[in-house]
Amino acid sequence: MSKLFYKALRNSHLKDIINDLQMASSDLGIDFFGVGALARNVWYVSNNEQPRGTKDVDFAVYIPNTERYNELKTKLIEKYSYKKISTNQFCLMSPYGIPLDLLPFGKIETLDNEVTLKEGKGLISINLDGFLEVYFNGLITTEIEGDKVKVCSIPSVVLLKLIAYDDRPENRPKDPLDIDSIIQHYPNIEMELIWTQYTFLYEEDEEHLTSYKIGIKVLGYEISKIIIKSSELTTRIIHILNKAIELKSDLAQQMIQDTENETVEQKTTILKLLKTGIEEGLKNYCE
């Protein structure tokens, strides 16, 4: 379990928000974990990389029904001075001026992995594919100045960002860039994992892949561990990657960070390696 400092995560009131949520959720018996930028930055800082700034904080909350979700929001509003946001019923404005996204998953979801709230205006329905699988198979616990906080593992971050961008590409322009940045850093940051658990990829390599490319395949293997028990989620992730590789979506194009030195072909090659790693991992872990 890594130990971090709040200051390093570049969110001045993150400690206050986490403490508020811990107290409010504890009273109601609700479990939660950090997603998105928080989980990404925990990974970066834990490995001595520079985090990226973020204007909001996202947490997934394990909820049995809409009533319990509303109880959590009400407690944060009445006891901790949070405020509703009229355009988004899944977000509260903290008293520190930082938006708090509360993404409910669990029994509250429909069979289509959707959550629709009966009250309010603006955003009242979201798709939460993958959250339950991440909850059971893709979390880590980090310690931030004595506070133990569950967050997504980095393979879980990539998984959820692939889904989120596929659901609402017009509202998620940063997701492809985050995915690309994580993939670029992964082979170097996770070198110990690669050499302790995945040396067989070097031994079986007939294409003379670089360590960087093998690292991308390892990320795919790690994602496969999260989705392996869900055929529906597995089918969806492969479909998302196929669309991007075949340029039927703009994911590969949007992953380009340096327009002068990077090409769509390079990004589709990366996605092919990621997909290959997922498929090989699914086959390997099923045997």
Q: pLDDT (tens digit, 9 = 90+) per residue, 244-257?
A: 999 999 999 999 99
In this structure, the dihedral spanned by the alpha carbons of residues 106, 232, 184 and 140, taken in order and rounded to 10 degrees, is 30
Question: Considering the entire predicted model, what is its pTM?
Answer: 0.94
Name the 3-class secondary structure at 143: strand
- Residue 160 CA to residue 166 CA, distance in Å, equals 10
Band of the pLDDT at 2, cuts 50, 70, 90? low
Span of 92-106, 202-216, 217-231, 267-281 with lowest mean pLDDT: 202-216
User: Tokens in use for 243?
Assistant: 């669309």
Residue 1 has pLDDT above 70, yes or no: no
Q: Judge whether 86 and 122 are in contact, CB under 8 Å.
A: yes
Band of the pLDDT at 7, cuts 50, 70, 90? confident
Where do we find the tokens 């700034």?
Answer: 53
Average pLDDT over residues 123-150: 93
User: Tokens in use for 189?
Assistant: 């940051």
Where do we find the tokens 């520190």?
Answer: 96
Band of the pLDDT at 192, cuts 50, 70, 90? very high
Q: Judge whether 149 and 229 are in contact, CB under 8 Å.
A: no
